[in-house]
A and B are shown apart, each in its own frame.
Chain A
Amino acid sequence: MRSSAWLRDPVAASLALFAGLAVAGFVAIGLGWRVTARTLLLAAQVPAVISGALGGLALVTVGAGLFVVQVGRRLAAVERAETEELLDEASALLAAAKGRRA
């Protein structure tokens, strides 16, 4: 029940997507290491290092960066929602006080 509520949260899918990018980056780094380690041929090692290590590093960086940005947006949205809620309650209290005077 709790998990399904979390899944319905609009931020969940995007956080999963960005975390997946970072994980894919680590996988790319691992594959690059695997290809590089299995041969002594420099011509095979260079593309593996470039595609695996550098590409993987880029994926990790982009994924982690977007993850942080999204978490920041989420916190800002929560803060904004709480502020609006507070203003709504203050407005309701003000209206109630005016009605009592009248």
Chain B
Amino acid sequence: MVAALMVVGGTTFCVLPQARASTATMALSPSVEAWYEPDPTCSTPLGCVSTEGLPTVAGPSPYPAGTMHVATRAGQEAARSYLSFIVPPLADLRGAVLEVPLSEDPADGSVAPSSSQVLVCPFEGTIVPVEGSRATPPTALCATNARAVYVPGPRPHLHADLGSLREQLERGAGLALVPDPAGPSAATDAWHVVFSSHGRTNAGSTPAAVLRLLVASDENVGQSPTPAAVPHIGTTTAPPLRPEGMSAPEVNTPAAPIAQPGTPGTTTTARTRAASVGYAYPVVWLLPLAFVTLVPATARALTRDLAPGPRRTPA
């Protein structure tokens, strides 16, 4: 009887949900973006000049605020960008795609984006939102990487299939966009791709990069608006987590007010969104049945006569 109950329960709670399982796409915007440029002294024949103990603050970026850059000049890396995402806990991440809409406006610094050779590498650690910093960026772990391919139209963007970076994304790693050092480049090569950070709101700016996660889920994932807080990490606004089809990148949302010194009452707000992703192990639905089975079994075992088998009668 109990065994039959277990079988029925298993069928109801485990098999059927898996049969209904499908794939859904979740789109994430970066929570933090940063771009770095290498120390210019490193390109001299004398090598890098030690700046230990000196402030690493670079001068003001010559590019518009809110723009991110990946560039090569004369065959040498001139800029790289880092994107950090808050990936919610997902039971089964099946794939991921990074799409980076590009600005081709020369005023933003764009130069020959169609000849760009960009690699997407994972990195671990945290970043702060800096633009044009000459500080040492987090190490890009390019042993596993994905190539970002330039797609010219209808809107120019970089497209990278991150299927090989699934494990790193599940662990919460960020993504570094770096010039491919092994790419087919000559010493005279120069290209510069520009994209927008999620906080760039000026008119005419391109949408921010989007990380699309392909997850296996039931109907809840990507369709249910049930809010469940995704925690805020770091000091920046939490990323909006939205299901596919909401076309959020096209919506220019006003930036959250940033607290300025001497302006009391101004606070930074954090938007939190979330998705219901269910249990990581659906087998937990069997726990009540296991409890119903185990309690009587334990009670019976603890009250049963444990005397060894029938005694042998003396001859």
Contacts and interface: CB of A to CB of B under 8 A. Distances in A.
Contacts of B305: 10, 77
B307 A78 contact: yes
Given A17-B298, A31-B281, A66-B298, A8 B309 contact: yes
Interface of B: 86-89, 124, 167, 170-173, 229-231, 233, 280-281, 294, 297-298, 301-302, 304-309, 311, 314
A66 B309 contact: no
A101 B229 CA distance: 91
Interface string A60-91: 00000010011001100110110001000100
Given A17-B301, A85-B311, A77 B306 contact: yes
Given A31-B281, A81-B311, A92-B314, A39 B89 contact: yes
B272 to A, nearest CB: 11
Contacts of A44: 88-89
A94 interface: no
Given A73-B302, A78-B308, A89-B314, A43 B172 contact: no
A40 B172 contact: yes
A11 B231 contact: no
A10 to B, nearest CB: 6
Given A9-B308, A10-B304, A38-B171, 8 more contacts: A14-B298, A31-B281, A35-B89, A41-B88, A41-B231, A43-B89, A73-B306, A78-B308
B281 A13 contact: no
| Residues of A in contact with B, size category | 20 to 34
The secondary structure that dominates the B interface is: loop
Contacts of B314: 89, 92
A17 B308 contact: no
Contacts, number: 74
A40 B280 contact: no
A41 B304 contact: no
Kindly list the 7 A-B residue pairs having the minimum CB-CB distance in the complex, ordered from nearest. Answer: A40-B172, A14-B301, A44-B89, A77-B306, A43-B231, A77-B307, A74-B306
Nearest to B277: A44
A42 interface: yes
Contacts of A21: 294
Interface of A: 5, 8-11, 13-14, 17-18, 21, 31, 35, 38-44, 48, 66, 69-70, 73-74, 77-78, 80-81, 85, 89, 92
A40 B86 CA distance: 9
Contact of A39 (B172, B230, B306, B309): B172
B309 A9 contact: yes
A70 B302 contact: yes
Nearest to B304: A10
Contacts of B233: 41-42
B149 to A, nearest CB: 28
Contacts of A40: 124, 171-173
A78 B308 CA distance: 6
Nearest to A11: B306
Given A38-B170, A42-B231, A80-B307, A13 B88 contact: no
- Most chain-B Cβ atoms within 10 A of its Cβ — which of A17, A39, A92? A39
Given A8-B309, A89-B314, A92-B314, A14 B304 contact: yes
29 contacts: A9-B308, A9-B309, A10-B304, A11-B306, A14-B304, A17-B294, A17-B298, A18-B298, A21-B294, A31-B281, A38-B170, A38-B171, A39-B89, A39-B172, A41-B172, A41-B231, A43-B230, A44-B89, A66-B298, A69-B302, A70-B301, A73-B302, A74-B306, A77-B305, A77-B306, A77-B308, A78-B308, A80-B307, A92-B314
